[in-house]
Amino acid sequence: MHPLDTLRPFFEQQAPRIIALSDRIWSLAEIRYAEETSARLHTQGLAEAGFRIQHGVADIPTAFVAEYGNEGPVIGLLGEYDALSGLNQQSGALQCMPSADSPGPNGHGCGHHLLGAAAHLAALAVQQHLRSNGLPGRIRFYGCPAEEGGSGKTFMARAGVFDDLDAALTWHPASLTGVFDQSTLANIQASFVFKGRAAHAANAPHLGRSALDAVELMNVGVNYLREHMPHSARVHYAVTDSGGLSPNVVQARAEVLYLIRAARNHDAAELYERVQNVARGAALMTGCELEIRFDKACSNLLQNTALNQVLYAQMQHLGRLPVGETERAQARQHHATLGASDVEEAGRSLGRVLRGQVTELFDGIKDYHPDREELLYGSTDVADVSWVTPTAQAWVACYAFGTPFHSWQMVSQGKTSLAHIGMLQAAKILAATTIDLLRKPEVLSAARHELHARREGKPYVCPIPPEVPLPLRRT
């Protein structure tokens, strides 16, 4: 008998509580390293279930580890619960509008309220299976804050909290279901602070040294640099301090935050050095001082075929997403708010067989081909875990097909029954995969050998230097 068959009553019993947990975290919409209540809701539920809780791991106040079991292989489930700044949105709305449910400017535009809740339920299900069958094994839920713009797991990896895992599993809400079989971009984020000299902009502009000019010249210089970067590289920026609101004062201070991405860690480091040189040139041209503050970084993701195949097999066992007409109607309504380019972008990942056949809802499973690895032009701090221990991830459909990440449409759908069904499906996939791995030490051994091969004999080196402190204050 498949473990999920015996666990079906458990999932049915726990589903209302987990749905309530995800909806509560959706409403809180707490962002990078400020997820105090969200983390507490997770730890309270896991502690009540008998998990041992270690708070404040890696000296991060909102990070924790919850563990059950005393011997056997150690499988980690990665949970997230952070939101995004500036994406406040009314639940269920079919147009962009402020939320009456969630005060403040933030919103769950990447589904992390669902992500953490599903991993939470999966951990409880594995605990139930171990208790019922008297099997050895340890299950850990990792409470991982600040995936968005904070690289919480990278700081945790730097502190060694994943070092003794036999494997790590996670998932991500999406508009399709399948193995997360793409590699991702490494990145480095840093602030560039220019300090000049204030002066009256009309009476004595020659006495001033404009820090805002330096920011603008840096941005122009980096834009010229784009032609000479690797085609897979990406550079983004946000002016976080323009020097004030008075145009008749030469701005004495200005700041710009840069996020630099490339296919591998060393590529990102090389591009970061080139961006720093552009900033130094801008400071020289304007007579300003320059301070560079390394904020955070994360690695490129390493796939693991041995784990992916187990994950895919459990997806296939579960079958199609169990949606009904209610969810299809929801998907049709939200799908109508999307642009053709959003749907086309989502369709690219499905391959030729399915492309064009999916309309408002993808309730099937994307084919997995171990020999095909694509590049996702985004980044995740799960990648640093993948350098430390064998790691596998799933995409699970929780939104209308084509819903773009970091959009108001994703926030709007975050408490729908479709989102809840996808979340519960993800929990079952993670639980079944964990139980299968605990029963198959030979797969865990193969996964470890594959990780060593993919690292090409190189040890993991955290892309965040040891002297860089946790960026707790930036929002």
pLDDT tens digits along 306-360: 999 999 999 999 999 999 999 999 999 999 999 888 888 777 666 544 555 668 9
Mean pLDDT of 265-273: 97
> Residues 276-302: what's their mean pLDDT?
98
Binned at pLDDT 50, 70 and 90, residue 25 comes out as very high
Q: Measured between alpha carbons, how far is 441 from 166 in angstroms, rounded to an integer?
A: 9
Separation between Cα atoms, residue 426 and residue 336, nearest integer Å? 26
Direct distance between the N- and C-terminal alpha carbons of the chain, in angstroms, rounded to an integer: 49
State the pTM of this model. 0.94
Asked whether residue 433 carries a pLDDT value surpassing 80, the answer given is: yes
| Model pLDDT, residue 294 | 97
Alpha-carbon distance of 192 to 70, in angstroms, equals: 47
Q: Go through the domains of the chain in sequence order and give each one's CATH number.
A: 3-183+300-454 (3.40.630.10), 186-297 (3.30.70.360)
Looking at the predicted structure, is the pLDDT value of residue 205 above 80?
A: yes
Residues in CB range of 469: below 8 A, 6 or more apart: none
DSSP conformation class of 302? P
**Rounded to whole angstroms, how far apart are CA atoms 449 and 17?**
39
Q: How far is CA 225 from the centre of its chain?
A: 28
Confidence of residue 100 (pLDDT cuts 50, 70, 90): confident
